[in-house]
Amino acid sequence: MDARAPEFYNGEKPGIEGAVPGHIPGAHNIPFTTVSDADGKLKWVTPLTQYMDEKHRKPILWAGPVLAGDRLLITGTTGEMLALSPYDGQVMGKINLNAPVRLAPVIANRTIYVLTDTGRLIALR
């Protein structure tokens, strides 16, 4: 994800001195202004579940987010991967991975890779 203004992302304006104009191939431009309001403050916050068991206060550990197209992906020790909108933070869907995950997913060649805590490597398209 590249949060710079489109004119910098596209190489139309020079960036910091010495920087090569443009962006890294495969990067997606989501300007910071789309995730902040006119005053530069946060645009949205999505509260995530904090505990697996509220009574015993066993914390859920979250990893990510990783931008995949128009979705933010996060994984957690709940054994699920959530897809959230980068525009408003709404949960768009979830996948049960059947095992806790403490590492953020990795994306390459249009495939999402997830390594579970039990040592399973899952590839999703």
CATH number at residue 67: 2.40.128.630
Domain that residue 2 falls in: 1-43
Same domain, 68 and 113: yes
Best CA proximity match to 69, nearest among 101, 97, 30, 36: 30
Same domain, 62 and 115: yes
Of 24, 43, 62, the residue that ends a domain is 43
Same domain, 66 and 113: yes
Same domain, 81 and 114: yes
Same domain, 39 and 56: no
pLDDT in the model for residue 6: 76
pLDDT, tens digit only, all 125 positions of the chain: 666 777 777 778 766 666 666 767 777 777 666 656 666 666 778 888 888 877 777 889 999 999 998 899 999 999 999 999 998 899 999 999 999 999 999 999 999 999 999 999 999 98
Same domain, 57 and 22: no
Same domain, 38 and 64: no
Between the alpha carbon of residue 85 and those of residues 24, 71, 72, 112, 116, the distances in Å are: 23, 5, 6, 17, 23
Same domain, 10 and 63: no
Same domain, 37 and 55: no
Distance of CA 40 to the CA centre of its chain: 20
Q: State the pTM of this model.
A: 0.67
Instruction: Please enumerate in sequence order all residues whose Cβ is within 8 A of that of 104, keeping only pairs 6 or more positions apart, or say none.
Output: 63, 64, 65, 66, 73, 74, 75
